Amino acid sequence: MNDIPFLPFTRPSIDERTIAEVSEVLRSGWLTTGPKCQALEAALSKRFDGRPVRLVNSGTASLELALRLCDIGPGDEVITTPMSWVATANVVLAVGATPVFVDADAATRNIDLDRIEAAITPRTRALLPVDLAGLPVDRDRLNRLAAAHGLRVVEDAAQSFGAQWGGRPIGSFGDLVSFSFHANKNMTFGEGGCLVMNDEAEARRFELLRLQGVQRLPGGGMEVEAWGAKANMTDIAAAIGLGQLRSIDDFNLRRRQLARRYFERWDRSLGFELPPEDTELHGNWHMFQPLLPRAFAAARPDFVAGMKALGFGVGVHYPAMHLFSMFRAMGHARGDFPVAEDIGERTVTLPLFPAMTDADVDRVCAAVTTVMADLQEARP
């Protein structure tokens, strides 16, 4: 296998037409927020049934500004999951609020909706669920729960662009929906994000939040009445985004085909726990993440190294974030959220991206079998 090019766990697909369109932007002299951003916001709004969409320079910025849009701040609590990229909780801290973790569900690996109600206190202001690996949280139950307690919902849909719930695209309904367009996402702008909102009043306020709070006045004047960030997107990124938007449905279809191939070719005797197989109707297969057998959890670094030696990149998405030293200093400890801890210690992210071939999947599965045999042989 060493004479075959290295296969990373993900790789963006950028076509020549998009590259040419980026070149046009560079030649135009208008590089920052401008007509390309406006065109992309309009295209995204159309995709989400006319809901207002505003772009920012990262999914993290989208989440933080969504919390600020909800007037969440010091003294407030936001319920979320420890099974996510640390940005999900960092944005809560950024606005001065407290992230309250709820354990993951062992089947979906998303936040356990059965445990949320017990975590709600008089200080709870919002729910911040995460669609891990592009598998949506049950939106029906989530929204009923939020409505029953008068809570805002900020959906961390960073990984689920193109996913659906109940036949409706994620983003076309609900409260506030945040997407990421980071380099490893199904649809990438290099970096970027957006927030889908409920009405134009929210969108206008969001525009102030994303760019220094500046209001442009007639005659070239300006006013600033409240704080704002520096989080606007460039037209360079938006040009990439317009190209990606043309292809995203094809990208996601190919991801579903590759995931199906993984399930067909996987050696079930190895003892891995595979992702839910029924996600084709809902998820976008952002990542393919089997869990190592528990007996080999401590050998994950050796598994990653063994796969790399055979020419395959493996990621770890994600460690349970409450075990990071920052959150331990806030009072969290091992054992607080055992399901998330178990998932975080055993998860491995295998190659999955649209340019892969069926033969690539077969090679990955064969490599997993080889590496696991080596690990078994090396056990004392």
| CB neighbour class for 177 (10 Å; exposed up to 12, middle 13-18, buried from 19) | buried
* Active-site pick, 36, 46, 185, 230: 185
Dist. CA 323–CA 336, nearest whole Å = 9
For residue 7, list its beta bridge partners: 312
Residue 149: CB atoms within 10 Å: 12
CA 279 to chain centre: 16
Distances (CA, A) of 331 to 80, 256, 328, 378: 16, 40, 5, 38
E-state strands within the chain: 53-56, 77-80, 98-101, 124-128, 152-156, 164-165, 168-169, 176-180, 193-196, 214-216, 222-224
**Catalytic: 185?**
yes
Residue with the two structure tokens 């640390």: 86
DSSP annotation string for 57-111: S-HHHHHHHHHHHTT--TT-EEEE-SSS-THHHHHHHHTT-EEEE-PBPTTT-SB
Is-contact 200 221, C-beta < 8 A? no
User: In the structure, how many helices (H) and strands (E) does the chain have?
Assistant: 12, 11
> What is residue 173's DSSP assignment?
S
Question: Which residues, including other chains, have CB under 8 Å from residue 372's CB and lie 6 or more apart?
Answer: 270, 296, 303
Supply the residues annotated as catalytic: 185
